[in-house]
Structure 1
């Protein structure tokens, strides 16, 4: 088998290794900025909560985990100061989980770091290759919204 015709199992491993290297670099930089306790699963949970908040049931569904597992993650994020529970203005029986300023800061800084990490790939590979890689992935990846259910999917 030649490099031009590698075994099929290498593709998912290379894609995962690329993902993992970006996430590891992200968390190294976040820690240096004061977000020392945040973990990859927390980032997915914050994305699942979103800018308008969500109930524990909605968070669990978006993450692909049970309401109880989502509740544990929310408890941890609340203890770390990234989210808060509040009454839902549209339904007094329901609690919403909302991002705090610390949670918003972590997401904002993450976006900035991802931009720098992409720029590093452009520096190493060239803009054309990175653009081609992204375009190729958009062609083969389903056109649905970006999934945040990685914690449940890996579970």
Structure 2
């Protein structure tokens, strides 16, 4: 997309540019993760691992957090378990339930993701300047709705 010259940019460019910025960060992160021993991780897995949380969760809870059915959450959990990112365990509170917990590999990919996001933000700061990045973040916080930070983003795209 060419930069507008004097005239206001068409309205459709803003969401496309925001998405392109998001996509470039996510793609760069996943290239890093692949180089660090996590080539099979997909963006949706990060949301699912966040939905599992530190204390673990049932498939139903994961589904609610992601905005998908228990069955869809179960399929994602199956995939993450096969890849070694989560483990299933008996729920100490209710022996009839299974808890999904992060495995050491799951914790590792989340730690590496957090570190990667910090590196990528630092790259934006180098390219744009600290003040511009801080202003961009502040402006986006102002414009984003209060419930914008939700884990069901992937179901929103597919919904």
Could you tell me whether the CA contact under 8 Å between 1:52 and 1:98 is conserved in 2? yes
Query: For the residues of structure 1 that align with 2:126 and 2:146, how far apart are their CA atoms?
Result: 28
Query: For the residues of structure 1 that align with 2:148 and 2:77, how far apart are their CA atoms?
Result: 23
Secondary structure of the 1:96 match is strand
1:132 equivalent among 128, 132, 135:
135
Cross-structure match for 1:30: 33
Query: For the residues of structure 1 that align with 2:144 and 2:69, how far apart are their CA atoms?
Result: 26
TM-score, normalised via structure 1 length? 0.96
1:99 equivalent among 91, 102, 108:
102
TM-score, normalised via structure 2 length? 0.93
Cross-structure match for 2:18: 15
Pairing 1:88–2:91 present = yes
After alignment, is 56-65 or 145-154 more displaced? Answer: 145-154
Cross-structure match for 1:154: 157
Q: Mark the CA change 1:114 to 1:4 in structure 2 (over 3 Å): closer, same or farther.
A: farther
1:65-84 → structure 2 map (5 Å cutoff)? 65-84=68-87
How many aligned residue pairs are there? 155
Return the offset for 1:2.
4.9
Structure 2 portions without partners, runs of 5+: none
Query: For the residues of structure 2 that align with 1:36 and 1:141, how far apart are their CA atoms?
Result: 32
Q: Deviations over 1:11-52 (max 9, x none)?
A: 111111111000000000000000011100111100111111
